[in-house]
Amino acid sequence: MIADSYDKVLFKKALDNLSNAYCPYSEFPVSAVLVGESGKEYTGVNIENAAYPAGICAERTAMSKAVSEGERNFERIVIATANGEGWPCGICRQFMYEFSPDMKVVAGKNIDNLKAYSLRELLPEGFRLEV
């Protein structure tokens, strides 16, 4: 897949939202902008906790907001970090796959070096209940 001009706009929004990340332990802020099939954009940041498993990644924050508002199908997610390139972890890949295995996933070191893949490319043979 190819990153397009809309991906760059979303990457800039994600960069602008990095300051909302709560990451005192890793000091690795991550921000994501998720686009629903409706066209609505949902932002998310990573939120850490002293009980490490209780933290949540930016991708799942954005998706949880969207799902809680009734959105179930997604077009793309764009991810930005303050410290270089960042891609969804395995948990996030499976979490997103549940809803939209063919969505576009975009990330990169900076706005001029974005890469794009389908979620299926990032998680081949992901598990999904076909509903």
Structure-token pair, residue 26: 């890793």
- Is 121 among the residues known to form the active site? no
Tokens 């001009």 found at: 5
Helix-strand-coil split of the chain, %, nearest 5 = 30, 25, 45
> Which one of the listed residues 59, 69, 71, 121 is annotated catalytic?
59
List CB contacts of 129: < 8 A, sequence separation 6 or more: 98
Active-site positions read 59
